[in-house]
Amino acid sequence: MNGAERKPRQIPWLAGGPDAALVRSNNAFHILDEFTSSRRVATLARIPTQAEVLGAIDTYRSLLTERDGAIVAVLDRLRPLFEAWRPCAEVPLEIQRLVREINTVMEGLEPPAGWDAYDGYPETWGRETASPGGPGAARSPSPGAATGMERVMTSVGAVMGGVNLAALLASPRAWAKVSPVRPSREHILGYLDGYLTTLERETRTEATKPSSFQSTGAPAQQLRTLCETWDPGSELPPEISEAARAVLTAFGLPEPPDGGWDTFEGLPDDLEEPR
Looking at 89, 122, 148, the residue that finishes a domain is: 148
pLDDT category of residue 38 using cuts at 50, 70 and 90: very high
Kindly state whether residues 97 and 178 are assigned to the same domain: no
Kindly state whether residues 120 and 198 are assigned to the same domain: no
The CA distance from 248 to 245, in Å, is 5
State how far the alpha carbon of 47 is from the alpha carbons of 51, 55, 69, in Å: 11, 14, 28
The pLDDT tens digits for 119-154 are 888 766 655 444 444 433 334 434 443 333 334 334
Q: Quote the pTM value.
A: 0.50
Which domain, by its residues, includes 162?
156-262
State how far the alpha carbon of 141 is from the alpha carbons of 41, 54, 114, 116, 126, in Å: 21, 32, 6, 10, 9
| Beta-ladder partners of 134 | 131
The pLDDT tens digits for 119-128 are 888 766 655 4
Kindly state whether residues 29 and 140 are assigned to the same domain: yes
The pLDDT tens digits for 218-239 are 999 999 999 999 988 888 999 9
Residues 152-168, mean pLDDT to the nearest whole number: 70
Per-residue pLDDT at 273 exceeds 50: no
Total number of domains in the chain: 2
Looking at 79, 113, 148, the residue that finishes a domain is: 148
